[in-house]
Amino acid sequence: MKTLAILVEGPRDEAVYPALIKQIRPDLETVLPLVYWGLPRLRKRFVEGLWYFDNHWEHKVEKALVIRDSDGGDPKSKEDELAEIYTHSGFHPKFDVHFHATPCMIETWLLADEGAVCRVARGRGKTPKVMSINKALEEIKDAKAPFRRMLSQAGLLDDNQVCKEIAEAADLGRISERCPYFRKFCERVHAC
């Protein structure tokens, strides 16, 4: 059994990341998310989460990936910050731990494939008319507003289940093409 634990900021991340990861790595049987309800709690408590997965989880975790937004900052420095917190904790679980900071919100990646939004809408009996966003998506500071507009055009609610379905229907090549840093995420997932 191949199990990857992910430690994420919020419930949207909990819905979307496992769906994307399972597309990137179909060999993974289980992706176990642990939600921290915000970046401050993630930074402060992710080591406790690793301890929990190492000592009390019913699945044997082979690897863990701690994921955060970089909030417009340099992703590498944010990853280094998490790695430093981990190193200084003195705790080292029986599995490898990796870190990833995205330069954008998770909604940015969902915006990249309007075809996935349409497929989900059609699957729910809607007749979508979705406009593609023709700009560098990773430069959008707050992707939530354009993502909500796209969902509205498709007749979909902005909820975590819809986002999960969009991630499951997404064309990873399309996301990589429109969001270059997504490739780095795929590399990290393959390294796990």
- Domain boundary assignment for the chain: 3-105+179-191, 106-178
Rg (CA), the chain: 17
Q: What CATH number does domain 3-105+179-191 carry, 1.10.1660, 2.40.160, 3.40.630, 3.40.50?
A: 3.40.50
Residue 139 structure tokens = 């430069």
Provide the pLDDT for residue 1.
56
Sheet with 63-69, edge to edge strand ranges: 30-35, 3-8, 63-69, 96-102
Q: How far apart are CA 186 and CA 150, in angstroms?
A: 25
Please report, in tens digits, the pLDDT of each residue of the chain (192 residues total): 589 999 999 999 999 999 999 999 999 999 999 999 999 999 999 999 999 999 976 778 999 999 999 988 899 999 999 999 999 999 999 999 999 999 989 999 999 999 999 999 999 999 888 988 988 998 888 899 999 999 999 999 999 999 999 999 999 999 999 999 999 999 999 988
Structure tokens at 41: 């709690």
Identify the bridge partners of residue 66 per DSSP, sorted by sequence position: 7, 99
* Spatial separation of the C-alpha atoms in residues 191 and 53, rounded to whole Å: 19
Q: What is the pLDDT of residue 172?
A: 98
Strand partners, 65: 6, 98
pLDDT of residue 60: 87
Q: How much is the pTM? A: 0.94
